Structure 1
Amino acid sequence: PHLTSKPTESEAFSARASSKCYRACPGKCTCNHKHLIDIQKKELQDLKALKLKVKNEFEEMQSQFQKFFNDIGSQVNEMSTKALGYHKVVEENRKLYNMVQDLKGNIRVYCRIRPAFSSESKNVVDFIGEDGSLFIIDPSKTLKDGRKLFQFNRIFGPTAGQDEVYRDTQPLIRSVMDGYNVCIFAYGQTGSGKTHTMSGPSDGTSKDMGINYLALNDLFQMSNE
C-alpha cells in the first residue's frame, strides 16, 4: 500500500503562488514577478470596485428603506389627523343632536288613547287636534261645563301601534348613550293601558313589545356599534 499525506498550509500557499506565477509567466522557466504584481494589483482594484459597488447598493437600499418608513410615518400621521377630526365631528354632532332634543323640551307629555271596551257605551273623546290638543266630554255634566281641553306634546289615537308610540321616544334613547339622564314612565288610572304601553302584552310577540323592551334592545345595539 502507498501512504499519502495532505499538503501543509505552506505547501498549499506555494501551490497557489506557483499557479499565479504560471499564469503570469506561461511557458517560461523563470517567473516575471512584475507581471505577477500587476495581476495582483488588478485583482485588488477589482475587489475595491466590487466593495464600492456593494457599498453603493447598500446605501441605495438603505435610502429606499428610509423613504419607505418615512412614507409610512406620513400616512400614519395623516390617518391620525383624520381620525381626530372624525371624533371631533362625531362629538359635535352629538352635542347638536342633544341640543335639538333640548329644544323639543326637557319634559314632554304624550297622551295615548286606548280602544274603548265593549262595556263602555259612551265615548268621552270629542276631538283630537294635530297640535296635541284634546277635547273630552263628561257625560254627567252639561255640554258647556262637561267639555274640557287638554294640551299635550302629541296624542296617539286608539289605532296607534307600539312601534308608532316608541318612534317618538326613540331619539331619547340615543341621548342615554351620550351620557344624558332620561326617564320615561306611564301615568294613568287602572285599566288605562300603562302596562301595555311600557311592557306590552304578556302573551304578545316581539312586534307587540312595549317601550321598555324596545329601548333596551336599542341600547344594546348602539353599544355594539
Structure 2
Amino acid sequence: MAEYHRKIELQSPDDLQYLIANVRRAAHEKIDRDLPPIEGEDKMRRRVEELVQEYISQVFHSTAPNLTINGLSPTREQLDSMLTAPGNTRSIEEYEPFNPKLWERAKELARQEEDLIEEIAALRRKMPGVAVEGVKNAFKEGMEGDEKVLRERLEGVRKRESGSGLGVGKMERQEEVERGWEKGVQGLGRLKRTMPEMVAKKERADRAEEYVLETK
C-alpha cells in the first residue's frame, strides 16, 4: 500500500499567491546575477525569463493536487489566474480587535512581574548577610559545645588524677585519653584561628556573586 502523505494546507488564495511571488522573486534574483540587465533589447535574457516562468507554472500545476486552500483543492482556472498575475504581491497586516479583558490581564501580569523583580532585588540585598550570620552562629555554637565537652573531660581527668594520690590506681588507658584530649584542644585552637578567615572568604564570595548578578 502506498504511503499516505498529508496535503499542504493553505488558509486562503493569498497564501498561494504569496508562494508564487516568492518563487518568482528568487528566480528573478538569480537571472539578474547571471544575466545582468543591459541597455537595449536582450533577447537571451528575455528567452531565459520565459523559460523560467514556464518552468514555475509547470511546477505549481504539478503540485496543485497536493495543495488545499481552506480545505478545497485549487482549480486549474484559479491557478492559471494566479500564475498570470503580476509577480509582486503586497503583504497585508491584519490586527485583532481590541480586547479590554486581555489588556487588563496584560497590565496585571506586568505589575506582578515588577513586584517579583523588587522582591528578588530585596532578597539579593538581604540574604548574603543572613547567610554569613548563620555561619557565624553555627561556628560559635559548635565551638561553645566543643569547649564544654573538653572542660567536662578535663575536669574528669583532674579528678581521677587527684584520686590516684589516695591509693586509687592509674586510670586504664589514661595516656590515650590524655593524648586524645590534647589533639582535641589543638584542633579547637586551629578552628578558632581559621574561623575568621573562612567567614571573610564567605563574605567575599557573597559580594562577588551579588556583583555578577547585578551586572547581568
Q: TM-score, normalised by structure 2?
A: 0.32
Greater RCO between the two (CA within 8 Å, min separation 6)? 2
Which structure has more strand as a fraction of its residues? 1
Query: Could you say which structure has the larger radius of gyration?
Result: 1
Which structure has more helix as a fraction of its residues? 2
